[in-house]
Structure 1
């Protein structure tokens, strides 16, 4: 039994990084290019995988903390250089997770509206979705800079529900981290978590999601 109940959903809200797209290699490349430009040591991809998901500023702060720097001005500079690099090379090695395209197509066929709510800056989210030919699936894209608070605040999800003028039980959230689960819980929206995403090195089960799946195509069979 799944909580998806797609026949009753008017809207599915998707997270982006770690849910639809594996973006860690491009983010790591942009961070390391910025660190190199600033004359600082670099970090590895697996470290970045543990740190992504809470927005660019927190990512840069975690990188510098790991390198034993604790300076807000340096954090601001790294964030600026990182975002400039990432804007230039947003989608070089980023790829869709298996099953994503099939599930989005199925939702489109069933006339289920789709929104993307991410902590990534909206301009970068839009560029990534466009590069991967996903943008047309989404009626709304919310970035980490669209509303006053990022996930795990429920505010982006509440904003999205109000945009579509829908009730809680008409909406489903699909994400990959405790940020998504906590945001959905706060917005009183059912949430399915993907097992393969970025969750700060923690087991997704520790966040007590309602359901965990390893491939979106599993929802097509129910």
Structure 2
């Protein structure tokens, strides 16, 4: 593996990096769906098929709950706070977890930390869920600050959580890159005035095609000098 980080990360105008979590640093789809399956089943709403995979894994937890229910034709209570809390609890207490880091993530994060870059996470996972996931895969201590969907007054695609994360890192929007895999991430970055870096091997969604990005890559090993990634449009 190359020992020098990609010039994108060592640009003199970059002081901090913020990352989405699910679909960007970790592959957690099976865990998300598993916790959703338990949530709907224990609430007596319905049973998800074993091979079910929702088209929406890029919104908030509440948004995914509503999407799956609509997709399955299930009625939901007007207030789904209980379902949200149930989902978070199931996600935290699942005995079998399949989430894992995407290949190449850890050495890149370690090199970025060693290069003196401020590192943060801004995710639509609950804060407790984000802490549990990053602890499970052994990267939590690499980050200076972790923001969850419930850390601030708004979740992505609002710019609020990203801007607040940058404030905690003491990094200005024009000194940061935000790494994500969906249109929610791209919209959040654009609204915050932060350059968006797309990890195109994540979960994605069709709306991404309409949104600007500063850089695109498909494998974390491309974050080393000498590893080429596709030519990108500036945004």
Query: RMSD across aligned C-alpha pairs, in angstroms?
Result: 2.2
Q: Cα offset for 1:188?
A: 0.9
2:165 paired residue number: 160
| 1:147 corresponding residue in structure 2 | 152
Q: Which secondary structure does the structure 1 equivalent of 2:59 belong to?
A: coil
Are the counterparts in 2 of residues 18 and 197 from structure 1 also a CA contact under 8 Å? yes
* Candidates 215, 220, 226, aligned match of 1:216: 220
| Counterpart in the other structure of 1:107 | 112
Q: How many residue pairs were aligned?
A: 219
1:122 aligns with 2:127: yes
Segments of 5+ residues of structure 2 without an aligned counterpart are 1-5, 227-235
Q: Secondary structure of the equivalent of 1:98?
A: coil
Q: Using the alignment, how far apart are the partners of 1:167 and 1:180 within structure 2? A: 18
CA-to-aligned-CA distance 1:78-111 (integer Å, 9 cap, x gap):
3332222111028710011111112101102211
For residues 183 and 121 of structure 1, the distance between their equivalents in structure 2, rounded to whole angstroms, comes to 17
Classify the secondary structure of the residue corresponding to 2:53: helix
**Cα displacement string for residues 112-131 of structure 1 (whole angstroms, at most 9, x for unaligned residues):** 11000001110110011011
Among 36, 61, 66, which residue is 1:61 paired with? 66
What does the per-residue CA deviation read over 1:8-31, in whole Å, with 9 as the maximum and x for residues that have no partner? 221100000000000010111111
Whether the 8 Å CA contact 2:102–2:220 is kept in 1: the answer is no
| Structure 1 residue aligned with 2:232 | none
Structure 2 CA distance for partners of 1:203 and 1:153, relative to 1, 3 Å: closer
SS in 2 for 1:221: coil
The alpha-carbon deviation at position 69 of structure 1 amounts to 2.6
SS at match of 2:128: helix
Q: Which has the higher helix share?
A: 1
Aligned 8 A contact 1:23 1:95 in 2:
yes
SS of equivalent to 1:53? coil
Matches within 5 A, 1:4-43: 4-8=8-12, 9-39=14-44, 40-43=46-49
Q: TM-score by structure 2 length?
A: 0.85
Matched position secondary structure for 1:218: helix
Q: 1:185 aligns with which of 167, 175, 190?
A: 190
